[in-house]
Homo-oligomer: A and B are copies of this chain.
Amino acid sequence: MISEKMINLTMNSSAIRAMFEEGKNMAQKYGAENVYDFSLGNPNVPAPEEVKKAIEEIINTEDSVMVHGYMSNAGYEDVRGAIADSLNKRFGTSFGEKNILMTVGAAGGLNVILKTLLNPGDEVLTFAPYFGEYRSYVANYDGILNAVPANTETFQPNLEELENMLSPKTKAVIVNTPNNPTGVVYSEETIIRMAEILRAKQKEFDTSIYLISDEPYRELAYDGVEVPYLTKYYENTIVGYSYSKSLSLPGERIGYLVIPDEADESGLIINAANVANRILGYVNAPSMFQRVIAKCLDAKVNVEYYNRNRETLYNGLLEAGFSCIKPEGAFYLFVKSPVEDEKAFCDAAKKYHLLIVPGSSFACPGYVRLAYCVAYETIVNALPKFKELAKEYDL
């Protein structure tokens, strides 16, 4: 009757989103303070004050018809120019306005670039564990997503397996650093080696392999760790950025794609991505928030808040007997489940009103993800519950 694909997807719909809805129901039933919801990456740190100031300035000084109107599908020229300048200053790149395409968040950006690149049957590789929505984004354009198995020692990408899996059908590789769900930041060494492999395979197959860098967590890095800018290491890199986390604006759906001149067929890709942005029904990124973020390019949420959460939750979980690598970025912990069936573990956690997401949602069973973008008090109050939970498993 209706779309069979959609019926199947609806049946197997996002475990994360299902838990978000469940969390809301539990909060109503037991009181929000008695539910410890670590399920969704919904920033709890408010947007920096600059955002509010920018909104006020825009609605009081700029022309309403321009602020809320259509512009080129790629976005306002001045906004795109300001973003290019800011990137060039920070990373020593040399982007111009034409290399920036404003998008409806990073999710919108990924859909635009996949629509632009993929022919039916093309393969896209990514590294497990990975954000489960990639599967749908690639399937939307009849591509095939294959996951390079995880290196569960370090959760750095498994480059030997990547080398084995790359094929003449590989159109793109999606990477996500700082990573959801592990919090790992790819090291420069890893990136240099990955670029070498991709370059060699391009030559071997006489194809272009695009590296799609999904970067919503770029600004969330701790302990002074650097997050290398991938276009500098590999020519065929396309960046998808989002202000969802850096400015705590996930609901506003504002981000951009960077399509560098160095990428193969970059002119064609820029034009086609523009059209894709329009015909996928985005038309353009929300107009006023394009102008808002242009005024907030040097602003950032209070990353220290997340850092304190990270330290407290990480140390508390270790103390309770759980094991987990210490993340350097994003706001997730990827914790080893004490039993193989991590879904059963997530169910057990629910008894303590602890909401956590099974690793199988990220193609990495045996682990669970905790999003620590929550109130510090939630972590403090949840830790005794985690201790009780640990006892159930004799940790």
Contact = CB atoms under 8 A, between A and B. Distances in A.
Interface stretch (A109-117, A153-161, A343-351): A109-117
A37 to B, nearest CB: 12
Given A59-B56, A68-B251, A252-B286, A104 B281 contact: yes
A179 interface: no
Interface in A65-87: 65, 67-73
A282 B103 CA distance: 10
Contacts of A3: 115-119, 141, 272
| Most B C-beta atoms less than 10 A away, residue of A45, A73, A133, A253 | A253
Interface string A34-57: 000000101111110001100110
A324 B47 CA distance: 52
A284 B253 contact: yes
A192 interface: no
A280 B166 CA distance: 26
A96 to B, nearest CB: 17
Contact of A281 (B67, B73, B110): B110
A15 to B, nearest CB: 13
A1 B278 contact: no
A174 to B, nearest CB: 13
Contacts of A288: 251-252, 289
Interface residues of A, number: 83
A318 interface: no
B59 A55 contact: yes
A272 B2 contact: yes
Contacts of A45: 65
Interface stretch (A218-226, A263-271, A376-384): A263-271
A94 interface: no
A112 B281 CA distance: 9
Given A10-B271, A265-B2, A272-B10, A42 B68 contact: no
A249 interface: yes
| Total copies of the chain | 2
A43 B59 contact: no
A32 interface: no
A56 B52 CA distance: 10
A276 B252 CA distance: 18
Interface in A1-45: 1-7, 9-10, 13-14, 17, 20-21, 24, 40, 42-45
A152 interface: no
Contacts of A272: 2-3, 6-7, 9-10
A321 interface: no
A278 B14 contact: yes
A48 B133 CA distance: 38
Contacts of A271: 10, 13
A234 interface: no
A70 B42 contact: yes
Contact of A9 (B13, B51, B136, B279): B279
A40 to B, nearest CB: 7
Contacts of A40: 70
Contact of A268 (B10, B55, B72): B10
What are the nearest 3 A-B pairs in CB distance?
A251-B287, A111-B281, A136-B279
6 contacts: A3-B272, A10-B272, A65-B248, A69-B248, A137-B279, A251-B288
